[in-house]
Amino acid sequence: MKWSIIKKNIRYKGFFKLTEVELQHDLFAGGKSPVLVREIIDRGHAVAVLPYDPVRDEVVLVEQFRIGAGGDTEGPWLIEVIAGYREPGESAEEVVHREALEEAGCQLRDVELMHRCYSSPGGSNERVSLFFARTDSSKVGGIHGLDEEGEDIRVHVVSSQQAFDWLDSGRIDSAMPIISLQWFRINRERIRQQWL
């Protein structure tokens, strides 16, 4: 299967970039699609991490304002995993350590890749690398974030069971923490055996 870009136009460039793309692609039944016009939000490559303390059986989650959830009746403050975007020349693992310090004052070790996935490929090129890491949760908490980025991030250190309860009840309702906590639930016993 092949596809081609006929034309690209940048329609907006700010915090994110919006590009209009004219394209054509092969069809499953044979032949070519008509020329299609699509918009794509250029978000870059995101990296996220779920820190876990195997001794205390606790995970570190963060809560912050998210404009995309502004229409939610529960409000736009979401409970999420620690996350950020890669800077040029920065590895995903470097982002994990940087963001954990910036967003939660959290030191990490034993960083393990859980998954790589596209967050919303119908309109965004953002690909997310999700990591799991060990931490000492007894030294984590408070309000964090960078003033120059307008961040106001509250840290939640909760038991694994509490995190699973929040997931199951729908209190956690964005993709990265859902995927991360589901992966953790499946792999929890293996990790505890390895790390304890």
Positions of E strands within the chain: 3-13, 17-25, 36-42, 45-53, 58-65, 77-80, 82-85, 109-118, 127-134, 143-144, 153-159
Cβ(123)–Cβ(41) below 8 Å: yes
State the Cα–Cα distance between residues 38 and 7, nearest whole angstrom. Answer: 11
Helices (H), the chain: 92-104, 160-169, 175-195
Exactly one of 20, 87, 149, 189 is catalytic; which is it? Answer: 149
Q: Tokens for 176, please give them.
A: 């990265």
Return all residues near 80 (Cβ < 8 A) that are at least 6 apart.
48, 61, 62, 63, 64, 66, 172, 174, 176, 177
DSSP lists the bridge partners of residue 80 as: 62
Examine the residue annotation and report whether 149 is marked as an active-site residue of this protein.
yes
State the Cα–Cα distance between residues 17 and 1, nearest whole angstrom. Answer: 28
Backbone angles phi, psi at 138, to 5 degrees: -70, -15
Q: Tokens for 148, please give them.
A: 């120059």
Q: Catalogue the active-site residues.
A: 149
